[in-house]
Structure 1
Amino acid sequence: MKEFTEEQAKEELNRKQQKFSPKDFAKLIAKGDVLKNKFKTRKKLSKFVKDFKVLFAMVKDYYKGNYKKVPWYIISSIGATLLYVLLPTDAVPDFIPFVGYIDDATIFSLCLKIANTEVKNYLKWKEENTQDNQNPIPN
């Protein structure tokens, strides 16, 4: 099997991002535990567990109306990326041994690059708006 390139990841993310709509939020939020489990148990994704938690919290805060200071392009890119990770039959099907999650990890990494500045802004906002002795991002 050929390598999943960053260029392919850009094309796939762009395609998925353009299709992401506000109605997709509920589906994404409902699958939070499934996503968290994938990030914790899949080798290619496990290095992104902390990043996943931040992005998922950001999407939830946006959906609930708590944090709207992020452009739609960024929030839809994050949402599309997380939905992509949920799909077992994406560009490289997850059931293929050793390589099944390469595309997921590549797209997730690309999303982190795209959203980097907005994630920093979100974390600053989250810290400023979290009560004392409370972790701003849930475990």
Structure 2
Amino acid sequence: MKKSEESKARKLFEKTKQRAGTLIQNPAKTKQIIEQAQEKSEERQGPLSKVWNELQLMFQMVRDWVKGDYQKAPKGSIVAIFGGVLYFVMPLDAIPDFIPVAGLIDDVYIINLVIKQVNSDLQTYKRWLAKEPNKKHQPLNN
């Protein structure tokens, strides 16, 4: 990815994080966006293979946080994750998604950026999931 595209992607991501901070307070809208992102990720699983597991974990973490099942993550981490999810579902971002394969390069870049920012919170959530027998086998779309 070119430096100019990285810069554009980061600026757009900052805007989506601001929007995420507001939207995260609306559980129904948050769930709808997570479901949309889940569908998009499943359609494009191949190009997302390097971030697939973490992306699915982030979807589930936001769902559990919004439902009130998991509250250990700081709100800032949830907002960053949800901002990354919003960026992912935006069709027109730094590299428009209608461009085959290349359209996901900026999405993967932002997802990786979020993973780096919230990695310790993701690991804590993963450990929590492992201790929660009812959560471990639950489908992500619940």
Indicate the TM-score class for this superposition, using the shorter chain for normalisation. 0.7 to 0.9
Q: Identify which of 62, 87, 94 aligns with 2:97.
A: 94
Q: How many residues get paired?
A: 137
State how far apart, in whole Å, the 1-side matches of 2:37 and 2:59 are: 9
Greater share of helix: 2
Q: 1:135 aligns with which of 118, 134, 137?
A: 137
1:29 counterpart (25, 28, 31): 31
Q: Distance in 2 between matches of 1:135 and 1:24?
A: 26
Compute the TM-score of the two structures, normalised by the length of structure 1.
Answer: 0.81
Aligned to 1:126: 129
Any stretches of 5+ residues in structure 1 without a counterpart? none
Return 5+ residue gaps in structure 2 as ranges.
none
One-letter code aligned to 2:81: I
Q: For 2:139 and 2:55, how far apart are their aligned partners in 1?
A: 10
Give the equivalent residue in structure 1 for 2:70: 67
> After TM superposition, where is structure 1 displaced by more than 6 Å over at least 4 residues in a row?
none
The residue type paired with residue 13 of structure 1 is: F
| Residue 17 (structure 1) shift | 1.1
Q: Offset at 1:108? A: 0.6
The residue that corresponds to 1:45 in the other structure is: 48
Q: Shift of the alpha carbon at 1:49?
A: 2.1
The alignment yields a C-alpha RMSD, in angstroms, of 2.6
Q: Is the 8 A contact 2:58 2:81 kept in 1?
A: yes
Aligned counterpart, 1:106: 109
Q: Secondary structure at the match of 2:17?
A: helix
Flag the 1:55–1:96 CA change in 2: closer, same or farther, 3 A: same
State the alpha-carbon separation in 2 of the partners of residues 24 and 104 from structure 1: 24
* Partner SS, residue 91 of structure 2: coil
